[in-house]
Amino acid sequence: MAEAKEYLFKILVVGDLGTGKTSIIRRYVHNIFSSNYKSTIGVDFALKVIQWDSDSIVRLQLWDIAGQERFGNMTRVYYKEALGAIVVYDVTRPQTFEGVTKWKNDIDTKVSLSEAWGGGQIPVILLANKSDLIQEGHGQHVNPTELDQFCQDNGFIKWFETSAKDNTNIEEAASHLISSILKLQEENADNVADDENTINLNQQQQQQQNNGCC
């Protein structure tokens, strides 16, 4: 029986302060929800291992970037080698939607796919979060036609109306992003493999140099 292929994908989760990024990650990774999370300071990490299909395992490294970090110099360091991103806004606070294009521009200017992956922008999805609060009379549902157009105009691959509390569309959104990255991997399979082999060879050479006598 052939060994399962393993993939490691770094995913950024960004958005203004209080949009529910940490709640989305906790729901997705641990299937738990709490309304008492403290604001993320700097950056936090979570890892989720997914048996994608019978012969593929995907390890997702989720980088939870704090809202107050936005557009700071450190984001360039955080974004390095990311293969996808999730931008989150709060449907009950229209001002957080205004931050969406700034976050997307920040991602586009600071990270891109390597030539081995075909170059260009990394896949980014948009989450209209906290839809559960709409049921309670706060804010209003998004206009699908308008958001479709917004995503097309701003380079998002897709949008989802989500709720970490009700576990609405969290899995679906993540699966769509993973599928998009896997498709890129498949389209550039030979180049990606060569790129990884080059990196491994360089690391081995570096180790040999470090272990050499002087």
Tell me, yes or no, whether 24 lies in a domain: yes
**Does some domain include residue 202?**
no
Q: Tens digits of per-residue pLDDT, 135-155?
A: 777 777 789 999 999 999 999
- Could you tell me if residue 212 is inside a domain? no
Does 42 reside within a domain?
yes
Structure tokens at 173: 């959104």
Q: Are 76 and 27 in contact (CB under 8 A)?
A: no
- Name the domain count of the chain: 1
Q: What is the tens place of the pLDDT at every residue in 91-120?
A: 999 999 999 999 999 999 999 999 988 899
Q: Supply the range of the domain harboring residue 121.
A: 5-195
| pLDDT for residue 213 | 46
Output the domain CATH number for residue 174. 3.40.50.300
Whether 204 is in a domain gets the answer no
**Radius of gyration of the chain, Cα coordinates, nearest whole angstrom:** 19
Q: How far is Cα 75 from Cα 78, in angstroms, rounded to an integer?
A: 5
pLDDT digits (tens, 9 = 90+) for 76-98: 888 999 999 999 999 999 999 99
| Residue 214: inside a domain | no
The bridge status of strand 158-161 relative to strand 124-129 is parallel
Residue 86 within a domain: yes
pLDDT at 34: 80
pLDDT digits (tens, 9 = 90+) for 26-47: 999 999 998 776 665 557 889 9
